[in-house]
Amino acid sequence: MKKITLLLFAAMVPFAAYSQKSGGITPQMMEQISRGYSATPAQKAVKNALAKNPISALAVNGDNLSMIDTHFSDVVRTKGRTDQESSGRCWLFSGLNVLRARMIQKYDLGDFEFSQNYVSFYDLLEKSNLFLQAIIDTRDLPLDDRKVDWLLQNPIGDGGQFTGVSNLITKYGVVPKSVMPETYQSNNTSLMRSILSQKLLQYALELREMNKSRAEERKTEMLTVIYRILVECLGVPPTEFEWTRYDSKGNFVSKKTYTPKTFYDEYVGTDLENNYVMLMNDPTREFNKVYEIEYDRHVYDGDNWLYVNLPIERIKEMAIASIKDSTAMYFSCDVRKFLDSSRGTLDLANMDYPSLFDTDFPMDKKERIQTHASGSSHAMTLIAVDLDENGAPRKWMVENSWGADSGYRGNLIMTDEWFNEYMFRLVVERKYVPSDVLDMLKGKPEMLPAWDPMFLPEE
């Protein structure tokens, strides 16, 4: 018995010593903290309900269950809805859906999709090169340098933003989905991405030990292995193909042979790198200024994400002008906040977390960004706005890439109040951008580091 008592005492000594350190939870503090739950009937009811139900279900606001009015005063007409499956390619689907809507309208097509897999192939190849070349460029910096450490934490991913759309398509063109369809790996990218990351990190350590000329030569050898893995996972990207065009009624129009570049030139033809302006609503930084984020690009010799930071009302003006002219836009937001996926609505009144947990959540948009509580996480295609009699927006609609059966007919409808709080990025054609905003782009942008919160890629 004495032996057991001594052992118990010895085991308690380290904990007792640790608990006396300043800043730790002391027994007295624990006694006070534990009063937060006093087993009132209301608290017990919440605890019992949470034991068997998701928080999102219990936080549903019962006073807001009716469906939002689905009428919109101004709509960009599109056909079909795409599905990114289990991949982080929303940025690509959104960008291609903007071009798809334009092509369907211009050529009176039926359902049509560009091959997301084709662009994904070159996206992953270019990102691999971007990472390896960045490792070469920083090989003289210590391994624990902030930039090197960030690179090693982010070797490759399938998320991204609009500069990836513009740079990749300008460089490699596009093809119809029928020419290079999806594969299991393109729809389910997690393990493929992990394997590519392991290989790239292995290569990074090797490149850091080489002089520049040998490293450049070795990088090409490394990329041949990456290319082979991509072909085995995604297929061989076509260099030439035949495509038959039909109109919306199924009538034959033409049959021709194309390369990805000639197909782009004939059916898209837009200068993606110079015809679009990227806008941001980031209240943590000065408005009416241009910012650039280092390494926030898909192609090493391409463009970083460069945006004009504007008040939300100015962004809305351009969005409305674009929709009224039947032109869809690349749009990104924090999509999971207050999302009712069954109805397809984004509404601050969808969930009542304060009542469920008997506490408030008072942070505003600026504070949420500063604390990483919110950020741009998902890209979609902005296609509609509903304006009141004074021309002010009541609600908006985006075409999503989660399939035709998700949300509201494959779309999400957001209230204007939600738009204010959780919309972050919009890409518009230059013709809808006022001259004073275009003048802002003439100045030198402020460069932000790669680990800036606004770097977060849309997935």
- pLDDT tens for residues 162-203? 999 999 999 999 999 999 999 999 999 999 999 999 999 999
Q: Domain map of the chain by residue range?
A: 74-455
Distance CA 236, CA 122 (A): 11
Helix (H, G, I), strand (E, B) or coil at 327: coil
**Residue 20: band (very low, low, confident or very high) from pLDDT cuts 50, 70, 90:** low
Those residues whose C-beta lies under 8 Å from the C-beta of residue 208, and which sit 6 or more positions away, are 135, 139, 143
Instruction: Quickly state the pLDDT bin for 458 (edges 50, 70, 90).
Output: confident
Q: How far apart are CA 75 and CA 80, in angstroms?
A: 15
Mean pLDDT of 313-324: 98
Fold classified for 74-455: Cathepsin B; Chain A (3.90.70)
For the stretch 270-300, pLDDT in tens is: 899 999 999 999 999 999 999 999 999 999 9
Nearest C-alpha neighbor of 76 from the set 96, 102, 95, 111: 102
**Two structure tokens written together for 191:** 């393990």
How far is residue 382's CA from residue 368's CA, in Å, rounded to a whole number?
24
- Residue 282: name the closest of 315, 256, 260, 257 by CA: 315
H helix count then E strand count, the chain? 17, 14
Active centre residues (catalytic): 90, 378, 400
pLDDT of residue 7: 43
Give the residues across from 330 on adjacent strands. 381, 427
- What is the average pLDDT value for the chain, to the nearest integer? 94
What three-state secondary structure class fits 22? coil
Express the helix, strand and coil content of the chain in percent, nearest 5 each: 45, 20, 40
β-pair type (393-399, 339-340): unpaired
pLDDT at 457: 79
What is the Cα–Cα distance from 78 to 401, expressed in whole angstroms?
A: 13
Condensed to tens digits (0 to 9), the pLDDT of residues 325-336 reads 999 999 999 999
Average pLDDT over residues 67-87: 94
| Token pair of 196 as six digits | 């590519």
Digit-coded pLDDT (tens) for 392-412: 999 999 999 999 999 999 999
pLDDT of 8 > 80? The answer is no
CA distance 87 to 412: 19
Which pTM value belongs to this model?
Answer: 0.92
d(CA 294, CA 59) in angstroms, rounded, equals 39
Distance, CA of 390 to CA of 385 (rounded, Å):
14
Q: pLDDT digit string (tens) for 220-246?
A: 999 999 999 999 999 999 999 999 999
Q: Are strands 289-293 and 446-448 parallel, antiparallel or unpaired?
A: parallel
